Amino acid sequence: LIGLIITLPGIGFVLAPVFRKPKQLWRTVGKLEDFKVGGFVLVQYEDPSPVVWAGVTAKAGAWIRRASESEFIAFSINCRHLGCPVRWVEDPRLFMCPCHGGVYYEDGTVAAGPPPEPLDRLKVRVRDGLVEIETTPTPLTLTKLT
């Protein structure tokens, strides 16, 4: 696949692979017994198709709530405005974005601020005692050329 070359003022970057459809992947985020019924818990995992920027590998994250013994709810950590990591605040039970004041209800819908859409909801499954979430790898890999 031919990469797309974008030249920014004084800096060259290759974006690749731009046209490949990202594959959904299941990622283990913990053992079942690690999740108590209650509020949201932050989990982090390595993105297998990470954004590489000046040698820094990005980590991805999600908020997971065990709503009952068999029911899980998970959202991407990234705000739908410009992607900042949102924080779960137990009281008043809202997700808050520290960048521009975006606020989401606990079902992921927008309560206030600039986000145009709800938080991305992620599928959750339990296999062999492990909790897994389904995510899409970052579709673009940024590689610094110069």
65 binds ligand FES (CB under 6 A): no
Q: Give the residue, chosen from 58, 82, 89, 140, that forms a contact with ligand FES under the rule CB under 6 A.
A: 82
Our CB check for ligand FES shows the closer of 61 and 102 to be 102
What span, in angstroms and rounded, lies between the C-alpha atoms of 109 and 91?
17
Our CB check for ligand FES shows the closer of 65 and 81 to be 81
Single-letter residue type at 105:
Y
99 binds ligand FES (CB under 6 A): yes
CB of 94 to ligand FES, least distance (A): 13
Contacts 24+ apart (CB under 8 A), 37-46: 37/66, 37/67, 37/68, 37/69, 38/65, 38/66, 39/65, 39/88, 39/90, 39/93, 40/64, 40/65, 40/75, 40/88, 40/106, 41/65, 42/77, 42/88, 43/133
Q: Give the residue, chosen from 43, 79, 110, 133, that forms a contact with ligand FES under the rule CB under 6 A.
A: 79
Residue 145 near residue 14 (C-beta atoms within 8 A): yes
CB of 120 to ligand FES, least distance (A): 13
Give the x-and-dash track for 19-38 against ligand FES (CB under 6 A).
--------------------
Binding site for ligand FES (CB under 6 A): 79, 81-82, 84, 97, 99-102, 113-115
